Chain A
């Protein structure tokens, strides 16, 4: 990690303080930049291919952290993410392969193994395109691997705090095809001996996946918040719809989200002090108890929402994940031992290819790549983007990142800072040479090795590149 790049752009810092430098820093020269795959409050995520012979063709997602505007150096979020990722290593957790520093503009880059798919895209594809449920094997394998990664994190005292479908990636072509990777540790915390209450660095977890204790203002929460999110994701894999789609009250700084709680109570019924004794200690339970009690909920019944028999092992597991009392909620370790995973179909390593003969293999859309953006976040004008094969590409941004849905994050930084137009510093098309690129939109292709060189196309007008077949994401996604 970064060992090899002792020079890593320092030369540039020395002879050139301006980012309009047309020379690429040394570290960047080991990659071919393919496009933007995500955007968050901290910066951008790019897709790039490693040039070196040993890793030829291997793709990485490069997450760029901008220097914070308030003049306080590397963002603490980036520091914490690096700190955790540098220590962890597990099959079902995204792998940090390199860290790079650009001394010229004091930006920091994390390079991850690239995963082509994420649960957000997979679920959406089933809902909007395939029109039938995911097969049981895939659901079970995805869930098992997610729990396996989470069990590793929890047994090492790490809470993820921001689990949602878009942060759960699935590997594409290669040795690890169909393997789940938990991503985005920007909000993750080591909770063994925190110096501050966990609640103190911002409300966490996208509202739909947020555990009731968080919604009610718990100060000292546990890894059980991740298990609630897994429960929500499990239900979503089954029904292809978010289980609790509350409307977020954005104006209030406090974590109390009435609508989200209403959505939960409607399906799970009221939490009671008998079932959840520590409920009485939660700040918003006390202050809002009247509202909560005044409301009558006709307990719809979780089983009918997720179309599972109340006696099925799947339902038993789901209801244990959605247990109100965090102390009674099933843990990742317990969940892995659950009967659901012991009955047919057994979960497997490749979640995407069903092991039953005759089952149709679904070609999932990969995460979209915006080839129109360079490393500075400016729009490229040098190289027209290539057409992407339709049906193989879907809209939506990112996956390693909070996508458009960063509203729930603590926002230490202003929105991604735009560089002045025409700053082409590390713009790959102008530097890398056309021959280096894969014009067919390489990461979207299964058989990417032999892509013919396609002629250049006219530049697209629409800013939402590659959103073939889907409406623009900004509207449809609100997490």
Chain B
């Protein structure tokens, strides 16, 4: 259902991490590793975020766009669906779904402005064609739930109202979109994990509050560990590694 997460298509479509971390055969044939697969998705997440700042859409639109992109790549290969086209198109589609429609020509304008690399230069027509292919790849499931609303409610419930904590956990939630967590875990658990990390980091004692929650703290801690691992391993995405992956992808046998 559109407003109840537990009966939503989002929940029904949850995947196990092993299902998400699958490099499609076509990409594998070109020598793409799982690391590179993740790296490209992460890089494209950053691109969507940057583009979104120019066309001025809210964070929820960005989050939905990234979720779409990640779902697409659980089903389609990067060889067939060029990430440099899929990413902006996901933002385009998400802007419609989240009622903040952005014109395709505006997107194309900023893509060109942001990227000197010719390989990013797609035209309006390409975006419109890809929009249909993405709708199909998503199997027309477009509702995505995000941790933001829950996070605000949880912070309130925990009696946390200092800006430091709020901003840190909000920022952490943003960063979770650089990973595939949105395809695997319910938004409230992602929100809790981010709060958990933030409170440890800011040395805020939330133990009692967490204990009173009826959630499996092991799951929350596991998600937190994943997030921390991510920070450790991907602190900086080297441009070179991304480019190397794209070179492999564009290889025509």
Q: In the docked arrangement, what's the CA distance between A297 and B234, Å?
A: 72
Q: In the docked arrangement, what's the CA distance between A108 and B131, Å?
A: 11
CB within 8 Å for A67 and B128 given contacts A156-B1, A195-B98 = yes
Interface mask (B85-124 → A, CB under 8 Å = 1, otherwise 0): 0000000110011111101110000000000000000001
Chain B residue nearest to A194 (CB atoms) is B99
Q: Is B8 on the interface with A (CB-CB < 8 A)?
A: yes
Q: Are A1 and B136 in contact (CB under 8 A)?
A: no
9 intermolecular pairs with C-beta atoms under 8 Å apart = A2-B136, A72-B101, A80-B96, A82-B142, A84-B2, A87-B2, A99-B135, A106-B129, A201-B99
Cβ-defined partner of A72 (8 Å) among B1, B103, B133: B103
Interface mask (B132-144 → A, CB under 8 Å = 1, otherwise 0): 1101100111110
What is B's interface to A at a CB cutoff of 8 Å? Answer: 1-4, 8-9, 58, 60-61, 92-93, 96-101, 103-105, 124, 127-129, 131-133, 135-136, 139-143, 149
Give the number of chain A interface residues (Cβ < 8 Å). 35
Cβ-defined partner of A79 (8 Å) among B3, B9, B93: B93
Cβ-defined partner of B3 (8 Å) among A73, A74, A99, A192: A192
Q: In the docked arrangement, what's the CA distance between A56 and B149, Å?
A: 46
Q: Which of A21-79 contact B (CB under 8 A)?
A: 67, 71-74, 76, 79
Q: Is A83 on the interface with B (CB-CB < 8 A)?
A: yes
Q: Please give, as numbers and ranges, the residues of chain B lying within 8 Å of A444 by CB-CB distance.
A: none
Q: Are A74 and B96 in contact (CB under 8 A)?
A: yes
CB distance from B44 to the nearest CB of A (A): 20
Q: Please give, as numbers and ranges, the residues of chain B lying within 8 Å of A158 by CB-CB distance.
A: 2-3
Q: Is A157 on the interface with B (CB-CB < 8 A)?
A: yes
Interface SS majority for chain B: helix
Closest 10 CB pairs of A and B: A157-B3, A83-B142, A76-B96, A87-B2, A79-B96, A73-B128, A156-B1, A192-B3, A73-B131, A99-B140
Q: Are A156 and B141 in contact (CB under 8 A)?
A: no
Q: In the docked arrangement, what's the CA distance between A3 and B139, Å?
A: 7
Q: In the docked arrangement, what's the CA distance between A305 and B2, Å?
A: 39
CB distance from B142 to the nearest CB of A (A): 4
Q: Please give, as numbers and ranges, the residues of chain B lying within 8 Å of A193 by CB-CB distance.
A: 149
Q: In the docked arrangement, what's the CA distance between A1 and B135, Å?
A: 12
Q: Are B104 and A87 in contact (CB under 8 A)?
A: no
Chain A residue nearest to B89 (CB atoms) is A73
Q: Are B97 and A83 in contact (CB under 8 A)?
A: yes
Q: Please give, as numbers and ranges, the residues of chain A lying within 8 Å of B58 by CB-CB distance.
A: 195
Chain B residue nearest to A79 (CB atoms) is B96
Q: Are B100 and A80 in contact (CB under 8 A)?
A: no
CB within 8 Å for A157 and B2 given contacts A73-B92, A79-B97, A201-B99 = yes
